[in-house]
Structure 1
Amino acid sequence: MPSAAVAQSYQFSSIEIDGNVRVDDSTILSVARIGVGQTVTAAQVSAAFGNLTASGLFESVELTPRGNSLLIEVVEYPVIGVVNFEGNRRIDDEVLAEAVQVRAGRVLSPNVIEADARAIAELYAQRGRTAAEVTPQILPRGNNRVDLAFVVREGDVVEIERLSFVGNRAFSSYRLRNVLNTKQAGILRRVIQRDTFVAERIALDRQLLSDFYLARGYIDFEILSVTPELARERDRFFLTFNLREGEQFRFGEVSVVSEVDGIDPADYERELRVRPGDIFAPSTLEMNIARMESLAESRGLRFIRAEPRFTRDNTNGRVDVEFAIVRGERIFVERIDIQGNTTTRDEVIRRQFRVAEGDPLNPRKIREAAERIRALGYFADSSVEPRAGSTPDQAIVDVEVEETTTGSLGFSVSYGAQQGIGFGISFAEQNFLGRGQQFAASFNTVKGSRDISVSFTEPALLGRDLAYSFSLGYRETSSFNANFDTREAFLNNSLGFPVSEYGRLTVRQGLLAEKLTGLQEFEADGVTRKDSLRLIDDQVGGTSITGTLGFTYTHDTRNRGVDPSRGWIFSWTQDLGVGNQNRRFLKSEARVGYEMAVLNENVTLKADGRVGLLHMIDGQSRYRDRFQLANVMRGFAAGDSGPRDFASAANDVLGGTRYAVVSLEAQFPLGLPEEYGLSGGVFADIGSVWGVDGINGRPITDINTSDGTSDSASRHLRATLGVSLFWDSPLGPLRFDVSRPLKKQPYDESQNFDFSIVSTF
């Protein structure tokens, strides 16, 4: 526009506009900010040119002064007719359409198109395809209209080829890689989704790594940098964490002082659960602060805070802690605002808080509530933040959540030569109707293992920490592991609640109706009987109805105590049963276990001892009530090991009324890349199942071996040694055991291989 600078000022008596079709003259003059008869400078004419160009309405603009008239010539951008996406197989068109700003019927804008291409590429990068390329293509259609296509070359998933750590001395890279949510690519790279590079995941990994070190006393731990490096071929990433570990600290002297009149610090010192020498960890501090503040609340004292004050001893790696009982700020919770929960009800989220509107604001309780909300598993993301309220002494707690899927539906078809074709369907929902309840139902038509069951759990009965569970079902089993078939219907109820910091009590009721079928007949004492007097009482005729009342108490400090690398578990279970044929019994089991991580937490050692006793108050025990050897010791075949009745046609296994087992186990890395999710273990079990009560008032005398040399119901010691392979598979943690009994009875059958889904108690 060279002519715009010829004169210093202009006064146009007329303005001519040419080339506009959709945009009217008044709109162009409004954008240009020049009017007829108005005196304008050369700079204002240049500004008008810039305004029209920046409006995004025109492909080209030309302003030409002609004496006392101005010619404005424009070429309008075409209108978009159709917006298409091509080459996208991994992401649906609907998802891409939501990510872009362009729409059919809008004016074409190169800047918007370029931004939309970048947005699509970013969407692919979030799914690990950082090599994706997006090319906009404009297809003229005439009449100043065009079609727009975003051509996508998705490329392969860009995986993390190597996860490295620099500066780690206390823990191996293998151990630290197990902490991270991100994983290295391995042989399962087509299945595992956490081995793709997602920049947003680094923030989570940084937090996990910091929590890991802080929980182990490394209070000066710092992540100096996280460096993602893309290979030259753009097909893989190398991710490096640069760390500064610092030294490990432990608790030194721990004391309590009071700065509030009328409060005796000795009362609060008795609430401490930490000793000098314990690992200095934030969780331990929080636990002791919570105990002291709870004591104050129980005494009606509001706004009392336990404030930790630290004195570091860098030479000895100790931190002396003085808990000061002080009066905190008088700030109340005005309200709790919850947003983002489209399915989950507000009450499910609100009950995770131990404070309500009108209560004193306690930052520690807000943090704990945030952790409980995340632990629900109902949300892909959540945040809990307090902010200023309507007055200086009020605070509003904002809760933002993002829902995620919590249900599953499964179908199955099976075929067996004897069973024929069978169908199965299962449904499970962890957040039933948004109430935080668990519901599951299954139906299986396979002959010999038909099953229909329904279960329901309310985790917060009456809005309290009371977990109520109910299950109802019918089940059939074939003679796969025994010389008989079973049909049973059951009804169970249970109620669980905490009784201490690490303790939980569950009380339960059960009702079982069971019938045994398929029993063989044989001659014994000149009488034709059903198979095994020890298995079934002829007077009962194979039918049993049993009602039970019981409880389980569990005290578990594993991964929750003052030292996250070790802990105890103790459990005690008792059930009082009453059945037909005047049967009354008390079944008791106890367990004591300890586990610890050694060698920089690369190896986990476990020791476990269990005992059980079935005491018949009246009547005689049944096969189902007794303990089975294969259920308490590894390496023995189910239904073919333990005390037997050698007077029966099939030398039936009876089970025992007592058992005692000690298990030792070690789990360790195999030296394989940890992205495979494989680790190894060795184990040893030693113990036995023994004891069988009399039948029809007659003591057991014919349970000797065929040569009459051994009473199979005696306390015969058995021992097993084995190796394990653990696999953290996409389907969940799996375990494979190969074992061999080192000591067993001649009539015991071995089971050298076993497969199971790993579960924790």
Structure 2
Amino acid sequence: MLLQGQVAAAQTRVNAIAVEGNQRIPDSTVISLTGIAPGEVVSDGQINDAIQAVMASGLFEMASARPTGSGLVINVVERPTINRINIEGNRRLDDERLLELVGSQPRRVYSPAQAETDAAAIVGAYEAAARLSATVQPRIIRRSDNRVDLVFEVTEGRVVENEAINFVGNRAFSDRRLRRVIDTKQAGILRSLIQRDTFVAERIAFDRQLLTDFYRSRGYVDFQVLDVTSELSRERDATFITFTVREGQRFAVGDVTVSSEFPDTDLDAYRRAVRLRSGETWNPTRIEEQIARLERLALQQGFDFLRAEPRVTRNPRDLTLDVEFALVRGPRVFVERIDIEGNQTTLDRVIRRQFDTVEGDPFNPREIRNGAERIRALGFFSSADVNTREGSAPDQVIVDVDVEEQPTGNLSLGGSYSTDSGFGVAVGFSERNFLGRGQSISVDIQTADENSRTELSFAEPAFLGRDLTFGISLSVVTTDFDSAAFQTRNTSLSPYLSFPMTENGRLRVYYELAEEEIFDVDPAASPIIANDEGKALKSALGYSYTLDLLRGGLNPNRGVRLTFAQEFAGLGGDIDYIKTTTRAVAERDVLNEEVTLRAIFEGGVIEALNDQTVRVGDRFFLGSRQLRGFASRGAGPRDTAAGISDVLGGNKYVSARFEADFPLGLPEEYGISGGVFADFASVWDLDDTTGAASQQVDDGFELRSSVGVSIFWTTPIGPLRLNFAKPIEKNPLDEENTFDITISTQF
């Protein structure tokens, strides 16, 4: 008998081949695997190769051959079939998730090699969950009829936490500041709840890019991450990660010039289009912005193939970079077509409109890259790859877009608490890609002790195929403040249009039809309030303009956001007024970006028209966010002669808040930081100052102020903010609130 691996001594004529030991697999299948035909004379080596081929099929545990007088007899032992597959010992990852990784299947032939591959896939899932010490052993349990149960025995091990994250080579920024840049976090006191402190190897590459972008946006053009090491502790339950970096020198912008190889180019127009200024911190993003600006101007002037090429000259002595934007002639290449694949729900036009380029346009690689970024920014796809290839001719390019969709609907249940409104519950549903059209719909229901809000909204971000957002919202807002002698209910319908005016500015125009109701007015309330009891219809047209340079301006460490809005009520209805509001926010990071300084200014004026008075529901009131240290609606003009001395609000208000946020020296992974603040605000001016007992209400300007400290804590259930404030300037009738706490979460 010739066993597997043995060699016979002579040649054999095979007149016939017999198969023994097989139960499920036909004789013909085994014979075909040998590659030997009846009547063939075979050598010992050929018989040995035949047996090896039978074993290589994976269908048999053992195979052997023995020559007989009339030919060859092949004995086989079939591999068992899998009866069922179980996973044991797993608690952190459920069976359903792990079984999706298993390639072995019931009623198929058991393969030890496939079982080992499956075990490795399960281990990979545990490694992604930061359990690097997890082990998986495949076992088989023999059953009758040549069947086996395949069992994967899992030892999960402990979570591998990032015990410490250190940096070597950094001088300009501290370790604490750089830990805020990267996505990987250290383990803290809430390590059992916070999952971002676990080690994920794939996250390291992302962290490297985050660090590179952070430094280069601050002028460190030579910055490099030289190495990243992660060492496991002896118990394999903790890692120590070290980033070795080379910062290099910090550069600023030197001379900025524009040149052109086109003789008829109006260089002055291109120079005016450049917003890069000498002396500002070097930032690659700013360079890209200027290139896009110049190339857009070229298209407007009819130069289809003009490209703006930045040519940088380094001045190591004064640490500046001169940049020359050279207007050069690009290759005459056109976009033949844009092919989109992978979208099952999202319509092609939703993806296609993210490109400023269409079929037949000159090919601009920068525009294609920008379009790819806009596709990813939609949030509709888990991945979006955009590549180009040569088309039907050398001067034609095909743009291939390959996307993989992800869920875009969200059902949320949340809770909140604040001293203004008490405990609250929020239920919401939103769909960001309604019917694959890129439209968004949402339903939000929020209830609290003193107010409730229900809102249904819809938005089309590409109305009429342009960068024009059309939306409409329907809302019902009810307030029931314990400190107020009345309740309000506002039911409104508001369609709007929103579109860009400049690169960073956006205009929103809206119409609002609302029913305002003031009810449950206390009999002892001021007549200034009682006169407004009942329902009134408001028909108003308004607009708001926002210029947002908060983090996208000339310097990444400073910025402003400005908002100016006006509302004109009186297009029919019962209410006539003009309301004007403005808000400005300015921020700056100082002390190596460890401390953030912030100033917030806001104010408003409302003026009644046609001999009307402003209703109490339309007046301005100061909340605790505008004036900390005071209760919400706790400061302002009052009717002191009334039995219930309600704050009446005012037709004018101003608020100025100055804040500084800074670390407290605690480990960054705890998520606890501190702040100090100083608030100044006032609300004043009433149309009707005749209060109870025909006494005149003092509605003059009176400044209130307060100072205090804040504690910020990023908890697993939501951001927590505690304010401890002390009023400085106040009216004896004002209601104080020296402690304020706000927390919200969503799950």
1:298 pairs with one of 297, 300, 304: 300
Alignment of 1:376-395 (within 5 A): 376-395=378-397
- Give the secondary structure class of the aligned counterpart of 2:273: coil
| Aligned partners of 2:519 and 2:533 also within 8 Å | no
Is there any run of 5+ residues in structure 2 with no aligned partner, and where? Answer: none
2-structure distance, mates of 1:327, 1:78: 70
Deviation at 1:582, TM superposition (A): 6.9
**Aligned AA (2:619):** R
Pair 1:108–1:369, CA change in 2 (3 A): same
Cα distance change of structure 1 residues 112 and 470 upon mapping to structure 2, 3 Å threshold: same
The 2-side partners of 1:215 and 1:445 are apart by 43
Tell me the alpha carbon deviations over residues 583-622 of structure 1, each in whole angstroms, 9 at most, x when there is no partner: 5322112233321111111111112322322223332122
2:669 maps to which of 652, 667, 675: 675
Give the Å deviation of 1:97.
2.8
Matched, 1:663 2:657: yes
C-alpha separation between the residues in 2 aligned to 1:130 and 1:368? Answer: 38
Which residue, 232, 242, 256 being the options, matches 2:258?
A: 256
Instruction: Give the count of matched residue pairs.
Output: 736
Q: Between 82-91 and 559-568, report the one with greater CA deviation.
A: 82-91
Match of 1:528 in 2: none
Question: Percent identity between the aligned chains?
Answer: 47
Q: Which residue of 2 aligns with 1:308?
A: 310
Residue 678 of structure 2: aligned partner: 684
Correspondence 1:229 to 2:215: no
For 1:493, what is the secondary structure of its paired residue? strand
Post-superposition Cα deviations, 1:439-496, rounded to whole Å, max 9, x if no partner, equal 2224578897455432222222222222223221333332423111223322222221
Instruction: Give the aligned residue type for 2:590.
Output: V
Output the CA distance in 2 between the equivalents of 1:568 and 1:445.
Answer: 33
Give the corresponding residue for 2:725.
739
**1:608 correspondence with 2:594:** no
TM-aligned CA deviation for residue 566 of structure 1: 0.9
**Maintained 8 Å contact 1:10/1:68:** no
| Matches of 1:345 and 1:758, distance apart in 2 | 36
Answer yes or no: is 1:654 the counterpart of 2:656: no
Would you say the 8 A contact 1:283–1:562 is kept in 2? no
Establish whether residue 564 from structure 1 lines up as the match of residue 556 from structure 2. Answer: yes
1:286-685 to structure 2, matched below 5 A, reads 286-410=288-412, 425-443=427-445, 449=451, 451-521=453-523, 531-537=525-531, 541-578=533-570, 583-618=575-610, 619-630=612-623, 632-685=626-679
Do the aligned partners of 1:80 and 1:146 also contact (CA within 8 Å) in 2?
yes
Deviation at 1:657, TM superposition (A): 1.9
SS in 1 for 2:328: strand
Q: CA deviation at 1:128?
A: 2.4
- 1:580 Cα offset (Å): 8.6
- 1:111 aligned partner: 113
Give the counterpart letter for 2:613 in structure 1.
Q
The DSSP-based 3-state class of the residue aligned with 1:372 is helix
In structure 2, the CA distance between the partners of 1:536 and 1:372, relative to structure 1 (3 Å rule), is: farther
* Cα distance in 1, alignment partners of residues 669 and 158 from structure 2: 19
Letter of the 1:350 counterpart: R
- From 716, 721, 724, the equivalent of 2:702 is 716
Query: Contact (CA 8 Å) 1:4, 1:64: kept in 2 or not?
Result: no
- Aligned match of 1:527: none
* Corresponding residue to 2:181 among 160, 169, 179: 179
- SS of 2:616's partner is coil
Please list, as runs of the form range in 1=range in 2, the aligned pairs for 1:72-83 lying within 5 A after superposition.
72-83=74-85
Letter in 2 for 1:433: L
State the Cα distance separating 1:13 from its structure 2 match: 4.5
Within a 5 Å distance, the mapping from 1:129-168 to structure 2 comes to 129-168=131-170
Between 158-167 and 438-447, the greater mean CA deviation after superposition: 438-447
Deviation at 1:383, TM superposition (A): 2.6
Q: TM-score scaled by structure 2?
A: 0.91
Which whole-Å deviations, capped at 9, do the CAs of 1:621-660 have from their partners, x for residues lacking one?
2222222133632222123211112232212211122222
Could you tell me how far 1:734 is from its partner in structure 2?
A: 4.3
* C-alpha deviation, 1:730, in angstroms: 4.2
Q: 1:171-228 deviations in whole A, cap 9, x for unaligned? A: 1121111122222222232333322222222222222222212211222122222222
Task: Decide whether the 8 Å contact of 1:4 with 1:45 is kept in 2.
Answer: no
Question: Counterparts of 1:370 and 1:422 in 2: how far apart (Å)?
Answer: 40
1:147: how far off? 1.8
The one-letter code sitting in structure 1 at the alignment partner of 2:264 is G
Give me the whole-angstrom Cα distance separating, in 1, the residues matched to 2:675 and 2:77. Answer: 75
2:62 match: 60
Q: Is the 8 A contact 2:537 2:575 kept in 1?
A: no
- DSSP-derived class of the 1:48 partner: helix
Distance 1:216 1:617, change over 3 A: same
TM-score by length of 1: 0.89
Secondary structure in 1 aligned to 2:609?
strand
CA distance in 2, matches of 1:464, 1:566: 32
Aligned mates of 1:360, 1:686 — CA distance in 2: 56
Residues 340-391 of structure 1, C-alpha deviations (whole Å, 9 max, x = no match)? 3334333322222222222222221222222222222333333322233333
Q: CA deviation at 1:35?
A: 3.3
Aligned AA (2:125): L
Q: Give CA deviations for 1:705-735 in whole Å, capped at 9, x if unaligned.
A: xxxxxx4x22222211121222334455443
- Hey, what's the Cα distance between the residues in 2 that align with 1:372 and 1:58? 54
Q: Deviations over 1:544-574 (max 9, x none)?
A: 3222221111112121123211112222111
Cα distance in 2 for partners of 1:327, 1:412 equals 56
Which among 709, 722, 736 is matched to residue 750 of structure 1?
A: 736
Q: Which amino acid aligns with 2:722?
A: F
Offset from partner CA, 1:85-117 (integer Å, 9 cap, x none)? 223344343333331221112212111111111
Q: Give, as a single letter, the amino acid of the residue that structure 1 aligns with 2:639.
A: D
Q: Which moved more, 1:15-24 or 1:64-73?
A: 64-73
What displacement does 1:10 show?
A: 5.3
* Distance in structure 1 (CA, Å) of the matches to 2:155 and 2:514: 61
**1:162: how far off?**
2.0
Aligned: 1:728 with 2:729:
no
Going from structure 1 to structure 2, the CA distance change for 1:722 and 1:438 (only over 3 Å counts) comes to farther
SS of corresponding position for 1:644: coil
Matches for 1:5-154 after TM superposition, within 5 Å: 5=7, 7=9, 11-64=13-66, 69-154=71-156
Per mean C-alpha deviation after superposition, the further-off stretch among 90-99 and 361-370 is 90-99
- Counterparts in 2 of 1:701 and 1:245: CA distance versus 1, 3 Å: farther
SS of match in other structure, 2:351: helix
